[in-house]
Amino acid sequence: MARTEKKNDFGKWSDGQATCKGLVVVLMLVAMALSPCYAAGLLKPIEGGDENDVYMKSHHVNVVINNGFARTEVDQVFANQGGTDMHAIYTFPVPKQASLSEVSLWIDGNEVIGEVLEKERARKIHEEQIQKGNDTALAEKDDYKTFEISVYPVRANAETRIRLVYYQPIEIDLNIGRYVYPLEEGGVDEERIAFWSVDDKVRESFSFNLELKSAFPVKDIRLPGHLNQAIVEKVQGGDENVDVNEERESGSLSGEIYNIRIDSPQGDALTRDIVMYYRLVDDVPARVELVTYRKDAASTGTLMVVVTPAADLQRISEGVDWTFVLDVSGSMSGGKIATLCDGVSKVIGKMSPQDRYRIITFSNTASDFTGGYITATPANVQSTLRQVKKITSGGGTNLFAGLKMAYDKLDDDRTTGIILVTDGVANVGKTEHRHFINLLKQYDLRLFTFIIGNSANQPLMDRLALESGGFAMNISTGDDIIGRIVQAESKILFENLHDVEFKFHGEKVKNLTPQKPGNLYQGQQLIMFGQFDGVGEVELELTAKISGVDRSWKCSAYLPESDTDNPELERMWALSKIENIMQEIRDNGDKTSLRKKVVALGKEYSLVTDYTSMLVVSVVEMEEQAIQRKNADRVNTERKAQQRKANQPVKSYRVDNSRKNSQRNQPMFNNRRSPGVGSGPVGPLFLAGVYWICRRKRGRK
């Protein structure tokens, strides 16, 4: 049977709105009470000598957020106070959408930049260098979980310095930007936890410095987990109370620059994520921004387009059956499971008698905890609360079984909300992506996944949300949890843009990625990368449906002959392209042809992937091994561009406000404001209520 087209034909909320006010507690309490167990740091045991002899002496982080993307640089010094040369392995969680593109090791006092090779060859050379006693470093990616950097030797009674750099796009959600420096691991890799211990202490000095450059005025900045440590300083910018409406058409908005610093001269523990929010002023416009890079007219250009739409998305409401799908596997032990149970109890306790609820738990197997839907009468609620308090954790993570049970016994005549809360990975039962995709294709039902902590199976969670038309939201233990829920509420409470497509007309642009944008919810941005060959004007078009009705928005832009400000875009385009290929591999299995594409892109653009690694050896060894210095050349180009931009004013890349576009009969987004959270600081202290809606089940395919 053909698949039913997804539309936003939601019903309307009734008095049942108030019954959902407590739902926020599930996520808020779980995340606020997570106790950090595993962190970024040195893995032990370490070969040779006393494992306590080697330690992290310093750890310095420098971040630059310049409009659409962030550059994160981590500079570390390892010290060895013993009499034996030692082998150190540094590990940290994989940041979302991050391209690890620079690993440098100081050899004989000089920086040597790593080069990307196929994983097997890089590891072979690295091991040979260790056997010879030569200086070497190797950066590898452990699927979606961690980056691991092997460093040898940390010489006796000496120090070893290493630096790494990664880039990632930064999304603005409801006028709120969010940057996370991930340090706390999720504790989901059981084999690794059983074998290694982690030294997460920086003994002498730790610093975190972030420079925020924004083309639009910033209203507020917060670092929720570091309010007493962080120093926020505005170093450039105009009137904070500027009326954006007066300047949006002329494009004369003044850029702003902020410096955010956290200093711990006596060292620190790398056990807690650093999360920074910045909120734009409420009047910031809906817009299209186009960032380009092109070395010269003879080269292929690279672009990043960021669309922040504003459309007539109506408030939706209807009664709801609530299905909670809760991870109770071993990684949820301790405070996590206790808090999760407490949160579910509070939600159920606030429901009204006309609502129904159902709880599915899963570890090695799935269990219909409530035995189907239960009407939320006072007597039923009290009985369930007594049972919920007895939930314990343990075992593996059979995610498929949990979701499969959640989709059983749905009522065609009621709207169903499915909320998946997990901090783990699918490691029991059916684990391949295709199994999950085939399951979801049988239902026209949106799934909202909330991913707690780091090192979870981000590719799978994103894939499930994309396929179902829902969304995936990451929640760090360092987050302003209520602020994250405010963002989630504003998406689910309104219609969305579905069947979204973005096109460039004019045959100058190619290789747009991601290939399938998915749905856009209230306040969400669409970020796409691509390449271009031509020069001159192109037309940009965003098409989507709202409740089944086709809509289209257009504007024009200019592709330059040369633009050398942002060479980093090439890496981010390549990473997005690689993610598309990896999604195909995860869905359909590893194929030689697909693997070769990933390797080719990884080597060409110097990216650490599942099949490529970054190797550092001496310049002499690189020559002997016939290793080309592609990444050294690329890094040199990027650093020169960064030095130029450091002395330039903040640049606006907005293109929909050009004179030609403003003369159109129907300007793009009709000069509307970008949807925001409204007045108040990022993450209000109190929430009037969070109302969750989702797709009515329309039948199996």
Cβ atoms of 76 and 160 within 8 Å: the answer is: no
The maximal CA–CA distance of the chain, rounded, in angstroms, is 77
What percent of the chain lies above the pLDDT cut of 70?
A: 76
pLDDT digits (tens, 9 = 90+) for 89-132: 888 877 778 888 999 999 999 999 999 999 999 999 999 999 99
Q: Which residues of 157-179 are buried (b: 16+ CB within 10 A; e: fewer)?
A: eeebbbbbbbbbbbbbbbbbbbb
- What is the DSSP secondary structure assignment for residue 497, as one 8-state letter? B
Three-state SS for 572? helix
Q: How far apart are CA 547 and CA 6, in angstroms?
A: 9
Residue 156 has pLDDT above 70, yes or no: yes
Q: Range(s) for CATH 2.60.40 in the chain?
A: 38-285+607-646
* More confident call, 535 vs 699: 535
**Residue 454, pLDDT score:** 63
The span from the CA of 473 to the CA of 180, in Å, is 13
> What tokens appear for 572 in the block?
């981010």
Contact criterion met (CB below 8 Å) for 87 and 153: yes
Radius of gyration of the chain measured on its C-alpha atoms:
25
Range picked from 176-190, 263-277, 499-513 for highest mean pLDDT:
499-513
Residue 85 token pair: 């040369």
| CB atoms near residue 660 (< 10 Å) | 11
Question: pTM value?
Answer: 0.81
Nearest to 54 by CA among 91, 93, 84, 92: 84
pLDDT value, residue 502? 93
Q: Identify any residues that bridge with 492 across adjacent strands, giving them in sequence order.
A: none
Which regions of the chain carry the CATH code 3.40.50.410? Answer: 15-35+317-492
- List Cβ neighbours of 665 (8 Å cut-off, separation of 6 or more): none
Q: Please count the other Cβ atoms lying within 10 Å of the Cβ belonging to residue 312.
A: 11
Confidence check: pLDDT of 425 > 90: no
* Domain 38-285+607-646 listed as CATH 2.60.40: yes
Look-up of token digits 């429901």:
351
Contacts of 585 (CB under 8 A, 6+ apart): 591, 594, 595, 598
Q: Do 420 and 401 touch, CB atoms closer than 8 A?
A: no
Average pLDDT over residues 134-154: 89
pLDDT of residue 438: 87
| Alpha helices (H) in 544-656, listed in sequence order | 569-588, 592-605, 619-624, 630-646
Collapsing DSSP to helix, strand or coil, 87 comes out as strand
Question: Burial level of 121, CB count in 10 A (0-12/13-18/19+)?
Answer: middle
Residue 354 tokens read as: 């006309």
The pLDDT tens digits of the residues spanning 33-91 come to: 333 344 566 655 445 566 778 888 999 999 999 978 899 999 999 898 988 888 888 88
Share of the chain above pLDDT 90, in %: 39
SS (H, E, C) 300-369: CEEEEEEEECCCCCCECCCCEEEEEEEECCHHHCCHHHHHHHHHHHHHHHCCCCCCEEEEEEECCCEEEC
pLDDT for 196: 54
CA distance 290 to 296: 18
Among 17, 3, 45, residue whose Cα is nearest residue 492: 17
Q: Architecture of domain 15-35+317-492 in CATH?
A: 3-Layer(aba) Sandwich (3.40)
pLDDT per position as a tens digit, 643-665: 998 888 899 999 988 766 655 55
- Token readout for 231 is 């120093």
Whether residue 692 is predicted with pLDDT greater than 90 in this model: the reply is no
Q: Is residue 532 very low, low, confident or very high in pLDDT (cuts 50, 70, 90)? A: very high
The answer to whether residues 198 and 38 touch, using CB atoms and an 8 Å cutoff, is yes
With tokens 């690295």, the residue in question is 126
